[in-house]
């Protein structure tokens, strides 16, 4: 099998490529290194003893993207990760986000549709905005994602829906990830954010290793059990596995057309304080923290109803919050050794 992974050197893509290579899939990877490093390929090689075929390519560049596709035929599936993903930055630079996330998607979809190649799209629980009932299932309203980033994800879903309506052989799966955390158990790949991380777990592990004086907890009087925001933290290895299941589901499906949406989470909500307590318990480290005001755009609660992906694909998270935090901490220590 030959699978194209866009944004494959990034956090989620690199873990998915490992699972594909371990299954002897031929993997092509496109990335423009905008938010990743070439060394990721060495980490992948250490784990799998193989490397994907890598092309440094910006998907916004239509002519170069077309040349790539002319050179590489027989692709049987596309997993599209390439996008900008920083929620805060997207509010300050909306055009950067619309341009990258939408143009890249359109350029690659053009090829997928011409060649009838099944397509997996990385969406996000952010499309649910401020949901009103929990756990959130796939039929919940998707409105007001609260940031230009979230809007690009929702627009992407709409574009795919329109393609499904228009083309008789278009097959796509949309995966709405909740909050991915952790790293490969080998410590050879993980989340390696360029610049100061905005997300909770990398900021927390960087704080504990000494890069920041304390973790800011955004908000203490949300209507949750302990007043801090609740999220569904999904281990990166579980999330990666959901892509393998999706590829199999898409390729083996008998129907010629497909447009299906799946949540990918654990189904369990954990507050920021739960995360800190769990981290301290599994690592024995202290997490210096201070409460500050709420962060603009944060929703109080988001956790997934995962019945659909479980019943249709047989996928279920195997790891828990503690496993994710332990591996995130091991990875932070690996990064410290490298620098």
Q: What residues make contact with ligand NAD under the rule CB under 6 A? A: 7, 9-13, 30-36, 58-60, 81-83, 85, 100, 104, 122, 124, 177, 179-180
If the CB atoms of residues 186 and 220 are measured against ligand UD1, the closer one turns out to be: 220
Alpha-carbon dihedral angle through residues 29, 52, 193, 283, given to the nearest 10 degrees:
140
231: Cα within 13 Å, side-chain hemisphere: 23
Q: Where are the alpha helices (DSSP H) in 23-147?
A: 40-48, 62-71, 87-92, 94-97, 104-114
* Chain position carrying tokens 């990385």: 122
- Catalytic (active site) residue 149: yes
Strands 77-80 and 230-231: unpaired
Closest to 3 (Cα-Cα) out of 112, 93, 101 = 112
Query: Other CB atoms closer than 10 Å to residue 318's CB: what's the count?
Result: 11
DSSP-derived letter for residue 103 is: I
Dihedral sign, Cα of residue 31, residue 34, residue 39, residue 44: negative
81 interface partner picked from ligand NAD, ligand UD1, none, CB below 5 to 8 A per type = ligand NAD
Helix (H, G, I), strand (E, B) or coil at 241: helix
Question: In the complex, which residue's CB is closest to ligand UD1?
Answer: 229
CB 202 to ligand UD1: min, Å: 8
269 interface partner picked from ligand NAD, ligand UD1, none, CB below 5 to 8 A per type = none
**Over the Cα atoms of the chain, what is R_g?**
19
299 interface partner picked from ligand NAD, ligand UD1, none, CB below 5 to 8 A per type = ligand UD1
Closest to 18 (Cα-Cα) out of 55, 53, 47, 59 = 47
CB 155 to ligand NAD: min, Å: 12
CB 153 to ligand UD1: min, Å: 8
With 0-12 CB in 10 A as exposed, 13-18 as middle and 19+ as buried, what is 211? middle
If the CB atoms of residues 111 and 222 are measured against ligand UD1, the closer one turns out to be: 222
If the CB atoms of residues 254 and 308 are measured against ligand NAD, the closer one turns out to be: 308
CB 92 to ligand NAD: min, Å: 17
Helix (H, G, I), strand (E, B) or coil at 313: helix
31 interface partner picked from ligand NAD, ligand UD1, none, CB below 5 to 8 A per type = ligand NAD
If the CB atoms of residues 47 and 125 are measured against ligand UD1, the closer one turns out to be: 125
CA distances from residue 47 to 16, 41, 51, 258, 296 in whole angstroms, order as listed: 12, 10, 10, 34, 39
Question: In the complex, which residue's CB is closest to ligand NAD?
Answer: 10
If the CB atoms of residues 231 and 326 are measured against ligand UD1, the closer one turns out to be: 231
CB 198 to ligand UD1: min, Å: 5
Q: Give the C-alpha separation, 112 to 133, whole Å.
A: 36
Q: Give the C-alpha separation, 188 to 180, whole Å.
A: 17
Q: Which of 149, 177, 222, 249 is catalytic?
A: 149
CB 73 to ligand UD1: min, Å: 33
58 interface partner picked from ligand UD1, ligand NAD, none, CB below 5 to 8 A per type = ligand NAD
Residues that bind ligand UD1 (CB under 6 A): 85, 87, 124-126, 179, 198-200, 203, 215-218, 229, 231, 272, 295, 298-299, 302
If the CB atoms of residues 57 and 127 are measured against ligand UD1, the closer one turns out to be: 127
Residues with active-site annotation: 149
């Amino acid at each position: 099998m030959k699978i194209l992974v866009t944004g494959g050197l990034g956090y989620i893509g690199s873990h998915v490529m490992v699972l594909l290579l371990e299954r002897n899939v031929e993997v092509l990877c496109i990335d423009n290194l905008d938010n990743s490093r070439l060394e990721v390929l060495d980490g992948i090689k250490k784990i799998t003893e193989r490397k994907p075929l890598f092309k440094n390519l910006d998907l916004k560049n239509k002519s170069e993207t077309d040349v790539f596709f002319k050179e590489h035929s027989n692709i049987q599936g596309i997993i599209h990760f390439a996008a900008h993903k920083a929620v805060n930055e997207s509010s300050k630079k909306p055009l950067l986000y619309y341009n990258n996330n939408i143009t890249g998607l359109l350029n690659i979809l053009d090829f997928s549709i011409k060649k009838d190649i099944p397509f997996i799209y990385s969406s996000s629980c952010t499309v649910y905005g401020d949901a009103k009932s929990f756990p959130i299932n796939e039929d919940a309203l998707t409105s007001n994602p609260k940031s230009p980033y979230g809007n690009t994800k929702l627009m992407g879903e709409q574009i795919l829906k329109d393609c499904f309506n228009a083309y008789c052989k278009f097959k796509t799966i949309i995966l709405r990830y909740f909050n991915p955390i952790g790293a490969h158990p080998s410590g050879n790949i993980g989340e390696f954010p360029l610049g100061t991380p905005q997300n909770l777990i990398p900021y927390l592990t960087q704080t504990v290793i000494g890069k920041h004086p304390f973790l800011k907890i955004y908000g203490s009087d949300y209507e949750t059990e302990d007043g801090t925001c609740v999220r569904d933290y999904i281990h990166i290895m579980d999330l990666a596995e959901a892509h393998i299941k999706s590829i199999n589901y898409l390729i083996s499906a008998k129907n010629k057309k497909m447009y299906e949406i799946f949540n990918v989470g654990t189904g369990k909500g954990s507050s920021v304080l739960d995360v800190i307590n769990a981290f301290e318990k599994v690592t024995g480290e202290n997490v210096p923290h201070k409460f500050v005001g709420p962060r603009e755009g944060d929703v109080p609660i988001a956790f997934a109803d995962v019945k659909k992906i479980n019943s249709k694909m047989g996928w279920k998270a195997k790891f828990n919050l503690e496993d994710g935090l332990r591996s995130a901490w091991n990875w932070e220590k690996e990064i410290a050794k490298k620098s």
